Amino acid sequence: MTIEEIKQEKIDRYLKAVAYEEVDRTPVATSGSVAVCRYADPAIQPGDIIHKPEYAIDAYIEGLVALDVDMAAAFEYPLMMDFMAKNTGLGYTEFPGIELPYESYWQIREIDCMEPEHYDYIIENGLQAYQQNIVSPIVGPMKMEYMEKMPQVMGMYMQKIADKPIPAPLSSEMGLAAHLHFLNWGRGFGNFLLDVRRIPEKVLAAIKVIDDFQFETAIIPALEKKPAIFTVFMVRDDQDAMRLDKWEEYFWPYYLKVQEAIEKYSPDTIFQIHIDGNYTKHAIQLIARDLRPGKTIIQFDGMEDSEAMAEALTASKICFYGDIHPAMLTLGTPDEVYDYAMKLKQLYGNGLILSSGCSLPPDTKPENLKAMVDAARDSAS
């Protein structure tokens, strides 16, 4: 087979799993640059991602080729994290070789810069005014010296992977949710949950202002590009923090509205939700009930009960993406990783994309990463 034929075979395998069509074997995907780099070159440090990007990109691609994965996230240049943290009011990011030791992983420092009176400010003045006048003076300026390198770094990655048997990431766009990225992050988790109880009307009014602005200026224009995948996030306010009926009242409408926009502007786009936390009940009672069969990916991080939700998700043809727990990848054995991966294959069959829970931790054991890939190779289910 030619390189292009191999790439297309892997893309087809991936998309068939989303659609619950029969696959020749379980597709396997990776995200997390440092772990993949270290599979090829154990000397790689997190600081190399920022300060020696070409060296890190070469190692990343070498690792992907050696693992022979079906799909991989783009090279993880982490300056986008700083942009998102500062744009939403979450805080700022510290980086290896700048604020942190070269061998340290980048870290988000949360500030909780939103105060209760800022709900009224958002309602009266809008999201942009809040970002410019409240958030920006607190979180500080972007690291423009490094941000400006991002297009060059990502272009370098796309150029170098072009002649390798690993598909480039499927075209993807991302949406931000008012309740999560601006209010939950800006207020801090505990404060936000208290706000939902104490001033629910203001919380809902601010959510509407922000979401209306986001849909008009970001989400709908992104969907008009007809991306292969559109990703949103579901984190923090899980079943261990909030009753499901309250969560459905306050937050589920956003995800349904995103799905409606996809159906209207780009019906072939896959709806992908990246989940961090225990959303087992949400998957069984809401996701399986309301989201599109054969056109939805749910990325789990290992905190949920994958066995409890399997019947509901497979019956509704919702693709399960994940979910080898980060602790198992760093502290477990290859046999533990392999056995759990095989269990997932039995539970989800053709509707599984095997991957880590969230991103691969930087200290993932190479032999555990290989065990995950080996499990995908053994059979389709």
Indicate whether 154 belongs to any domain.
yes
For the chain, what is the mean pLDDT? Answer: 94
Q: pLDDT (tens digit, 9 = 90+) per residue, 47-106?
A: 999 999 999 999 999 999 999 999 999 898 888 888 889 989 999 999 999 999 999 999
Angle, CA of 225, 229 and 232, to the nearest 5°: 105
Whole-number Å distance between alpha carbons of 373 and 84: 31
- pLDDT number for residue 327: 96
Q: Six-digit token pair at 80?
A: 């986008």
- Cβ of 84: how many Cβ atoms within 10 Å? 15
Does residue 310 contact residue 317 with C-beta atoms inside 8 Å? Answer: no
Indicate whether 150 belongs to any domain.
yes
Indicate whether 322 belongs to any domain.
no
Indicate whether 334 belongs to any domain.
no
- Cβ of 320: how many Cβ atoms within 10 Å? 26
Indicate whether 140 belongs to any domain.
yes
Q: Using the predicted structure, report yes or no on whether residue 381 has a pLDDT greater than 70.
A: no
Q: pLDDT (tens digit, 9 = 90+) per residue, 303-331?
A: 999 999 999 999 999 999 999 999 999 99
Q: Six-digit token pair at 202?
A: 């203001």
Indicate whether 195 belongs to any domain.
no
Q: Using the predicted structure, report yes or no on whether residue 380 has a pLDDT greater than 70.
A: no
Structural domain total, the chain: 1
pLDDT tier for residue 180 given thresholds of 50, 70 and 90: confident
Indicate whether 350 belongs to any domain.
no
Compute CA 334 distance to the chain's CA centroid, rounded to the nearest angstrom: 25
Q: pLDDT (tens digit, 9 = 90+) per residue, 259-310?
A: 999 999 999 999 999 999 999 999 999 999 999 999 999 999 999 999 999 9
- pLDDT number for residue 4: 96
- Residues spanned by the domain of 125: 32-67+75-169
pLDDT tier for residue 237 given thresholds of 50, 70 and 90: confident
Question: What does the chain come to in residues?
Answer: 381
Q: How would you classify residue 3: left for phi > 0, otherwise alpha for psi between -120 and 50, otherwise beta?
A: alpha
Question: Rounded to the nearest 10 degrees, what angle do helices 53-67 and 366-378 cross at?
Answer: 40
Indicate whether 79 belongs to any domain.
yes
- pLDDT number for residue 255: 96
Q: Six-digit token pair at 103?
A: 């061998």
The candidate with the shortest Cα–Cα distance to 69, out of 270, 381, 370, 291, is 370
Q: What pTM, to 2 d.p., does this model score?
A: 0.95
